[in-house]
């Protein structure tokens, strides 16, 4: 969203759990966009108790610390900025602690962007999915997921899919807005396998609950027909 560095105060209480201790607990966290995709949480000096920090290395721009609770160490995961607009602020790598909380709700993957919206709408568009001329799905009751700055995704009821072509995958990914995704690969009658091109959310988060029981295809890897018209694949120019 923001093309340049952007900093704003968060109205939420933010807590960071590591090795059974809340190493940060503040109502004055900063949301910082280092890149347009999503923000990070930064903290002012004093939020992270110095007893949890051991100096790792120092440069002109940064002081890096290990995060330590008793015998549990996470090396080089805390950075203090020493110059520029972020001077004096601390950042903890999101994946290093055991859990992050906004108020009393645990968050995953990265902080949610307050300027991003996700909507799921019931539609009557006729959507047909093909791969190498083989039909994978055909529905007139898709659920369209609109997510700020991302392509619209069509979620199709499993009962409108050719499930005999689906093979379960071990791949899982996480989304802070939708939850934990599981995947399918597609095995075509000619033996070709297209790996991990279908995903679904077994227990989607509340804001995307309407996609439960549906699957989505990587439009970039299949042929998508909407109301009979073949769509240009995203990123194809």
pLDDT tens for the 237 residues of the chain, in order: 677 899 999 999 999 999 999 999 999 999 999 988 899 999 999 999 999 999 999 999 999 999 999 999 999 999 999 999 999 999 999 999 999 999 999 999 999 999 999 999 999 999 999 999 999 999 999 999 999 988 999 999 999 999 999 999 999 999 999 999 999 999 999 999 999 999 999 999 998 999 999 999 999 999 999 999 999 877 655
* pTM of the predicted protein model: 0.85
In the chain the domains, ranked by start, together with CATH numbers, are 6-107 (2.170.150.40), 118-228 (2.170.150.40)
* Rounded Cα distance, 191 and 37, in Å: 38
Q: How many CA atoms lie within 13 A of 188 on its CB side?
A: 13
Question: Can you give the pLDDT at residue 236?
Answer: 57
Please check whether residue 219 is in contact with residue 205, taking contact to mean a CB–CB distance below 8 angstroms: no
DSSP one-letter code for 191: S
| pLDDT for position 223 | 97
Query: Residue 72 has what pLDDT?
Result: 96
Long-range contacts of 8-12 (CB under 8 A, 24+ apart): 10/41, 12/102, 12/103
Q: What is the pLDDT of residue 3?
A: 76
């Amino acid at each position: 969203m923001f093309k340049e560095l952007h900093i704003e105060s968060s109205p939420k209480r933010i807590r960071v759990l590591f090795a059974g201790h809340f190493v940060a607990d503040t109502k004055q966290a900063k949301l910082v966009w280092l890149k347009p995709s999503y923000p990070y949480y930064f903290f002012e000096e004093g939020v992270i108790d110095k007893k949890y920090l051991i100096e790792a290395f120092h440069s002109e721009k940064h002081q890096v610390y290990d995060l330590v609770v008793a015998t549990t160490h996470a090396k080089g995961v805390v950075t203090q900025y020493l110059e520029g607009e972020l001077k004096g602020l601390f950042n903890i790598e999101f994946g290093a602690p055991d859990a992050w909380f906004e108020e009393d709700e645990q968050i995953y993957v990265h902080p949610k962007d307050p300027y991003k919206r996700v909507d799921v709408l019931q539609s009557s568009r006729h959507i047909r999915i093909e791969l190498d001329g083989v039909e994978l799905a055909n529905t007139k009751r898709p659920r369209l997921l609109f997510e700020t700055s991302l392509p619209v995704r069509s979620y199709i009821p499993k009962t409108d899919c050719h499930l005999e072509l689906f093979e379960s995958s071990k791949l899982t990914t996480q989304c802070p807005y939708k939850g934990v995704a599981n995947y399918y690969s597609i095995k075509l009658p000619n033996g070709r396998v297209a790996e991990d091109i279908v995903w679904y959310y077994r227990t989607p988060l509340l804001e995307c609950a309407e996609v439960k029981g549906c699957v989505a295809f990587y439009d970039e890897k299949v042929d998508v027909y909407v109301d009979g018209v073949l769509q240009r694949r995203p990123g194809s120019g």
